[in-house]
């Protein structure tokens, strides 16, 4: 399980973009978004680096927790 804090994820549209970015790296990933805390949990076989890069490419700065 990988957990990320994404401070600039502020709305449902952002949450969808974050999920789409993660799924572009691992289409089989399970992504749980908590918009209130701006945290994302990802169940994936992908390494954290590619996930963080996909989030950055989508315009979201993330901090792995």
The CATH number of the domain where 15 resides is what?
Answer: 3.30.70.100
Domain of 8 in residue numbering reads as 2-64
40 touches 3 (CB < 8 A): yes
Write down the pTM of the prediction: 0.90
33 touches 40 (CB < 8 A): yes
pLDDT tens for each residue of the chain, 65 residues long: 999 999 999 999 999 999 999 999 999 999 999 999 999 999 999 999 999 999 999 999 888 87
Cβ-Cβ contacts under 8 Å for 23 (sequence gap 6 or more): 29, 31
* Distance in angstroms (rounded) separating the CA atoms of residues 65 and 61: 13
The domain total for the chain is 1
């Amino acid at each position: 399980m990988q957990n990320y804090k994404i401070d600039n994820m502020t709305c449902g549209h952002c949450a969808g973009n974050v999920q789409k970015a993660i799924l572009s790296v691992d289409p089989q990933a399970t992504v749980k978004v908590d918009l209130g805390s701006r945290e994302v949990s990802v169940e994936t076989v992908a390494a954290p680096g590619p996930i963080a890069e996909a989030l950055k490419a989508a315009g979201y700065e993330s901090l792995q927790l």
